[in-house]
Structure 1
Amino acid sequence: HARQGQLWIAARKGQAPEIEILSVDDGPGIRDLSQAMRDGFSTAGSPGTGLGAVQRLATDFDVHSEVGKGTVILARLRTAAARTGAFKWGVVALPAPGETVCGDSWGVAFDGHRAAMLVADGLGHGEHAAEASMAAVDLFAKQPFAGLKEALEEAHIILRMSRGAAVTRAQLDAETNSLLAAGAGNVAMRIVSGVFNRSVLAQNGTVGVQMRRVEETRMDWPAHALVVCHSDGLQSRWPPQAITALIGRDPTLAAAVLVRDYGRGRDDVTVLVMRRDD
């Protein structure tokens, strides 16, 4: 059914372990998704139980298909729901071609109506890049809601023993409808709602190598908007229309569509997407 099809599989440990599987393709798309989900329907002479069986077996299931553009299918198996407060989130992180370790790292944390997120892009590729980006994540995990300016300045000191990383951190508040962000380097952040599309400007520099005085940016966060944070493995000029149809869906679908359609294909790529939980 697909062209250029791939399976992206992630296993996550912790208090709520899970396995997440994404099927991503550039195929013809599915013209009638509701019909395709019914057992017994097939366009290839098969029993026609594939999608329905996956949906029944999965804890979480979602699918997005565009005729002429392709299909993304998400299936997640988990033992218990993770505590995410007022938020839903999803991420796709893939290593550069030929690498077995992704040089990007990411983190999320939740506290009631507040959420914190980070994406770090270690310079270069491979294990040394991953060591630099994970050092930023380890610091984030200790104090995810620390002051952004102080947190980045501390990361700048800690990452001096590494090759350095581009880092963006943000804190989201679902009650005040606001976002506070700060970073150094080419990790981009954008708020997308279809009518409100705004980029958070990143400062030049590399955490652990050379960094200017940290400046925080506060922005409005409309009720239905997605917050997208990504490394430079994704093209910076992707159109917001690419994911506006996915607002309100599992955020992992939006991350996967962006990587499929706008990934550079020669670098590590990480796309982290967050929204309010309806």
Structure 2
Amino acid sequence: MEVSSGITHRLYPLTEQSQIGELRRDAVALAQASGFDDVAAGQVALVATELGSNLVKHARSGQVLLARVADGRGSWQIELISVDQGPGIDDVAAAMADGFSTVGTLGQGLGAVRRLSHDFDLHSSPDGTVILARLHAHSAAVAGAAASPQAFSVGVVAIAAPGETVCGDAWAVAQDGERASALLADGLGHGSHAAEAANAAVECFAGMPAAAPRQLLDQMHRALRATRGAAVALAQLELAGPSLEYSGAGNICGRLLSGVEDRTLATQHGTVGLAMRQVQPNRYTLGDHTLLVMHSDGLATRWRLAHPSLLRHHPAIIAATLWRDNRRGRDDATVLVLKRNSG
């Protein structure tokens, strides 16, 4: 099974012009460290600058989340997610045109961001706008390689607690044909010791991602005994059925969402590595358009999806919107969204 894991986003407030340069420099440095050539790194710089300029000039409480994500070809993409709290874009079609500018920005417009991005999506409402841009290195080897077809799309937002340099949450997703497995682990507390526990759970998962949830959690329970322990949730999805098996211990929240369904998924009390009863997985039937949301307790649990139209968007847009609207702001916060691809 192809396993992806581990991104943590760095958070950049964008409320004044001087902050754009730091975002641009760090985005370019991350691109260069990820194998981007000068041309591709320059495109990352343009996208970072345009997103930052738009936030400074048009938005309230603008932020950009920066990370690198696996591209399915054995290489990296640079991911930038622009998040704000309004007032929204009045005319999205006009804003997407190259050269569109209302207050003297670079004149490139969001159309240029879309054109330069391998993956692009945007959702806007009066509550705010969320924009996803992923760029990859345009080398011949990468461009000519075929990505493995996947049945599910994944979006993750992972932010360390304020004042911490590492995130105490960790996650992983494995896919093989029409099957997918997802893990989210939240180490007790935050900081490096919490990260050690959560990463130990990911290492177990990566070694046996197709194993039965009970077997996986038993293995994690043994592996995490030398750590402070973690809350852990596991999900295994199969399109044959289609069905979901969900299990775990601790306060990871899982939800199934669609236009007609909003179901909270059950886990048991306990802490993996410290005290955990025998795991009892729960099985659910998946609708054609049902998506899975898993998040750590850095988000409030009593949330609702404010705009049902979000269900049509990329999982990263959904994850970032949920983080924006429901984060507690005092702990690590990770949101993982798994969505069935159409067709």
Code of the aligned partner of 1:219: Y
Q: Which stretch shows the higher mean deviation, 212-221 or 77-86?
A: 77-86
Aligned partner of 1:238 in structure 2 is: 303
Residue identity opposite 2:135 in structure 1: L
Tell me, what secondary structure is at the counterpart of 2:194? helix
Out of 22, 27, 30, the position equivalent to 2:86 is 27
Contact 1:5 1:23 in 2 (8 A): yes
Aligned-partner Cα distance in 2 for 1:232–1:196: 22
In structure 2, the gaps of 5 or more residues are 1-57
Aligned residue among 43, 49, 67 for 1:10? 67
Q: 2: CA distance between counterparts of 1:48 and 1:36?
A: 11
Which residue is equivalent to 2:154?
A: 89
Query: Following the alignment from structure 1 to structure 2, what is the Cα–Cα distance between the partners of residues 98 and 194?
Result: 38
SS of match in other structure, 2:228: coil
Q: Using the TM superposition, name which of 241-250 and 83-92 deviates more.
A: 241-250
In 2: Cα distance, 1:42 partner to 1:88 partner: 32
Identical amino acids, percent of aligned pairs: 54
Q: What's 1:258 paired with?
A: 322
| Structure 1 residue 272, shift from structure 2 partner | 0.4
Question: 2:163 and 2:245 mapped to 1: Cα distance?
Answer: 36
Which residue of 1 is the match for residue 293 of structure 2? 228
Alpha-carbon separation, structure 2, partners of 1:38 and 1:140: 44
Query: Superposed, which structure 2 residues align to 1:1-278 within 5 Å?
Result: 1-12=58-69, 15-46=74-105, 48-67=107-126, 69-79=127-137, 82-83=147-148, 85-239=150-304, 241-242=305-306, 244-278=308-342
Question: Over aligned residues, Cα RMSD in angstroms?
Answer: 1.5
- Structure 2 distance, partners of 1:277, 1:12, is 19
Alpha-carbon shift at residue 27 of structure 1 (Å):
2.5
The alignment partner of 1:4 has SS state of coil
Shift in alpha-carbon separation, 1:33–1:179, aligned structure 2, 3 A: same
Of Structure 1 and Structure 2, the greater strand share is in 1
Instruction: Report the TM-score, using the length of structure 2 for normalisation.
Output: 0.78
Counterpart contact for 2:168–2:189, Cα < 8 Å = yes
Q: CA deviation at 1:248?
A: 2.8
- In the aligned structure 2, how far is the partner of 1:42 from the partner of 1:113? 44
AA matched with 2:109: G
Contact preservation (8 Å) 1:102, 1:125: yes
Query: How far, CA to CA, are the matches of 2:307 and 2:268 in structure 1?
Result: 26
Residues 192 and 244 of structure 1 are in contact (CA less than 8 Å); yes or no, is this contact kept in structure 2? Answer: no
Report the Cα distance in structure 2 between the residues aligned to 1:65 and 1:125, rounded to whole angstroms.
33
Q: CA deviation at 1:206?
A: 0.4
Tell me, in whole angstroms, the C-alpha distance in 1 between the residues paired with 2:64 and 2:200.
29
Distance 1:121 1:217, change over 3 A: same
Are 1:242 and 1:258, in contact at CA under 8 Å, matched by a contact in 2? no
Once the 2 structures are TM-superposed, how far is the Cα of residue 83 of structure 1 from its aligned partner? Answer: 3.2
Residues 22, 82 of structure 1: alpha-carbon distance in 2 compared, 3 angstrom cutoff: farther
- Structure 1: distance between partners of 2:306 and 2:177: 30
Instruction: Identify the range of structure 1 (154-163 vs 70-79) with the bigger mean alpha-carbon deviation.
Output: 70-79
CA distance in 1, matches of 2:248, 2:223: 15
Q: Structure 1 regions of 5+ residues with no counterpart?
A: none
Read off the aligned partner of 2:308 and give its amino acid letter. Answer: T
CA contact (8 A) 1:92 1:271 kept: yes
* Contact 2:99 2:109 (C-alpha < 8 Å) held by counterparts: no
Per-residue CA shift, 1:158-212, capped at 9, x if unaligned? 1000000000011001121110011000001100002011111121110001111
Deviates more, 1:99-108 or 1:26-35: 26-35
The alpha carbon displacement at 1:243 in A equals: 5.4
Does the residue aligned with 1:42 lie in a helix, a strand or coil? coil
Q: Distance in 2 between matches of 1:246 and 1:202?
A: 26
Give 2:22's aligned residue. none
2-side partners of 1:242 and 1:218: how far apart? 27
